């Protein structure tokens, strides 16, 4: 496939043209569009909660089995059954939270199936995802082993659909009790003396669909019933998350915020980005035309409107901002690749997916005062995964690197950026901004700026007015590739990987050239004093 990039002027020439236009180096001489930004470090916003970079691992396809868990007897190097290569890669992302066991799987999962000797655990049928056999080798103990090894927090989705308040309450007691109750002693018998820490507890999942096909009013009553019995020690009480709506649906947020007066810390919302408007024919993960490039990015931008609509309801019903919005399922979803087993949801991951991630992070940062958590679907081998595996082989995806490049934004303070001049990228009735930007003051005292060029054909010459912030050091990385569908394969694992980016800092501010279809993160500091 031929590259769809165009020849660019050297970065230093563009920078000179921006700083010294009187010399005749006009921007029109290049294919770059001009983007002018103003960083408002004098108007710090909300904390960007690190849980916005959360993960989601469901019993689906090869996400858990073969992806994360191979068992102690596997020839693939492992630690207590967990793949060493996958563990090492995930540790680099400093994953804040992992949602488990689903998804749709959660509302048919009975926790007692996944404890005790693995040889004695029952085999069930995963009716949601291909009717494959589920041997329950990965259960409660294995899940908490994973989150502890990764230094993450636990987020469990409890079974509301086919379970009972009694079953859910007993699972929570098994996890958190420090007493000598029968359930606590059973946990000790199964190898865990001390209780585990549980940060978040979801009461059901997608209760409007696979979680029970309920009306929001009925779910609200069930939620109140179930949470009445979910009791823990005072120092180990999770935040309770109600199952909310999806896409542009706001009725769930409206009904739940109105009818659940207590025992609620958050409402979930789900949105998946697809290239088309037809769910049954979503489009391909690779080999797609440019029109599906722009339609996918346009679809990702809808997240902003969906969050706006739901937070408007919450601000009316909850003006004190006690109930947060959790986007605990998001990401791209394409048609299955030829030869891939139906229901496994394995798909290739390309540069397009990395830019979708960058778009979503920019949106999440903007709403960080209300959006506390987001969980991409999913961690390994499923949908927009961080990692793909094939037997003993493993590869980090472009999305993995988008997450890694955003590490400085975890628990940083949002800084607004005013866009003074930009352009639009348009094709076939679709339209998106050429460039997107988000910025934050990190815990390290540095200013971090993330810039995304969504146009696959034109470079963007970006000038950032730092508003008096005397930046003397800038370090940065860029993620880009020649093709729109460039991917990291098992034969070419470093095809799409961050590399140093060129920039220039001068009296006029910061200047950086963004090649077509690229993502850049810059970290700035000042030796004359920062803005902490």
Cβ atoms 249, 268 nearer than 8 A: no
Cβ–Cβ under 8 Å, residues 354 and 519: yes
d(CA 451, CA 519): 6
Catalytic residue among 206, 292, 298, 348: 206
Lookup: tokens for 464: 């950032």
431 is a catalytic site residue: no
Q: How far apart are the first and last CA of the chain?
A: 48
Residue 316 burial class via C-beta count within 10 angstroms: exposed 0-12, middle 13-18, buried 19 and up: exposed
Side-chain-side CA neighbours of residue 414 (13 Å): 23
The total number of residues shown for the chain amounts to: 532
Q: How far apart are CA 5 and CA 9, in angstroms?
A: 12
Distance (Å, rounded) from C-alpha 491 to C-alpha 505? 39
* 8 Å CB contact between 260 and 242: yes
**What one-character-per-residue DSSP string does 74-115 give?**
-SS-EETTEEHHHHHHHHHTT--EEEES-SGGGGG--GGGGS
SS3 letters for 76-87? Answer: CCEECCEEHHHH
CA angle 452-456-457, nearest 5°? Answer: 120
Question: What 3-state class would DSSP assign to 376?
Answer: strand
Backbone angles phi, psi at 149, to 5 degrees: -65, -35
Q: 484: closest CA among 264, 227, 208, 288?
A: 288
Cis peptide before 87, with omega less than 30 degrees from 0? no
- 284 Cβ contact list (under 8 Å, min separation 6): 292, 334, 335, 337
Catalytic residue list contains 329:
yes
d(CA 373, CA 177): 26
Q: What is the rounded distance in angstroms from the CA atom of residue 510 to the CA atom of residue 474?
A: 9
Pairing of strands 504-506, 509-514: antiparallel
Distance CA 443, CA 136 (A): 41
* Active-site choice (58, 108, 298, 329): 329
Residues labelled as active-site residues:
206, 329
């Amino acid at each position: 496939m031929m590259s769809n990039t165009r020849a660019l002027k050297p970065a230093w020439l563009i920078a000179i043209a921006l700083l010294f236009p009187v010399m005749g180096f006009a921007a029109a001489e290049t294919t770059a569009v001009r983007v002018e930004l103003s960083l408002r470090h004098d108007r710090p916003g909300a904390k960007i909660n690190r849980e916005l970079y959360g993960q989601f691992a469901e019993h689906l396809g090869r996400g858990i089995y073969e992806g994360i868990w191979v068992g102690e007897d596997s020839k693939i190097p492992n630690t207590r059954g967990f793949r060493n290569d996958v563990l090492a890669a995930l540790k680099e992302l400093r994953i804040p939270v992992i949602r488990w066991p689903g998804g749709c799987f959660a509302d048919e999962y009975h926790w007692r199936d996944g404890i005790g000797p693995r040889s004695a655990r029952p085999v069930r049928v995963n009716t949601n995802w291909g009717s494959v056999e589920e041997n329950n080798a990965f259960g409660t103990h294995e899940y908490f082993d994973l989150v502890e090894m990764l230094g993450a927090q636990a987020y469990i989705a409890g079974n509301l659909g086919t379970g009972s308040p009694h079953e859910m309450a007993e699972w929570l007691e098994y996890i958190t009790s420090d007493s000598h109750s029968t359930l606590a002693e059973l946990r000790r018998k199964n190898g865990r003396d001390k209780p585990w820490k549980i940060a978040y507890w979801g009461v059901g999942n997608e209760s409007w669909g696979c979680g029970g096909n309920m009306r929001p009013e009925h779910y609200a009553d069930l939620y109140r019933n179930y949470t009445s019995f979910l009791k823990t020690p005072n120092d180990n009480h999770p935040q309770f998350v109600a199952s909310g709506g999806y896409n542009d649906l706001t009725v769930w947020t409206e009904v739940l915020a109105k009818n659940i007066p207590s025992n609620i810390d958050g409402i979930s919302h789900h949105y998946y980005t697809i290239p088309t408007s037809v769910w049954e024919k979503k489009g391909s993960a690779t080999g797609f035309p440019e029109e599906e490039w722009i339609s996918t990015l346009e679809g990702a931008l809808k997240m902003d409107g969906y969050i706006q609509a739901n937070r408007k309801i919450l601000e009316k019903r909850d003006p004190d901002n006690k109930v947060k919005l959790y986007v605990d399922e998001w990401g791209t979803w394409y048609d299955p690749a030829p030869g891939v087993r139906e229901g496994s949801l394995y798909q290739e991951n390309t540069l397009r997916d990395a830019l979708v991630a960058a778009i979503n992070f920019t949106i999440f940062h903007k709403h960080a005062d209300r959006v506390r958590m987001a969980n991409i679907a999913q961690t390994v081998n499923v949908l927009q995964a961080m990692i793909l595996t094939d037997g003993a082989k493993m590869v980090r995806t472009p999305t993995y690197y988008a997450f890694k490049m955003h590490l400085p934004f975890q628990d940083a303070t949002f800084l607004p950026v005013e866009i003074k001049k930009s352009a639009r990228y348009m094709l076939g009735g679709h339209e998106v901004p050429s460039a997107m930007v988000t910025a934050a003051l990190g815990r390290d005292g540095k200013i971090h700026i993330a810039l995304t060029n969504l146009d696959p054909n034109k470079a963007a010459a970006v000038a950032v007015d730092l508003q008096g912030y005397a930046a003397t050091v800038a370090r940065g990385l860029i993620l880009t590739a020649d093709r729109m569908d460039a991917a990291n394969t098992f034969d070419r694992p470093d095809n799409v990987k961050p590399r140093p980016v060129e920039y220039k800092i001068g009296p006029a501010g910061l200047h950086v050239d963004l090649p077509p279809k690229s993502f850049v993160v810059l970290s700035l500091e000042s030796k004359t004093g920062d803005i902490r």
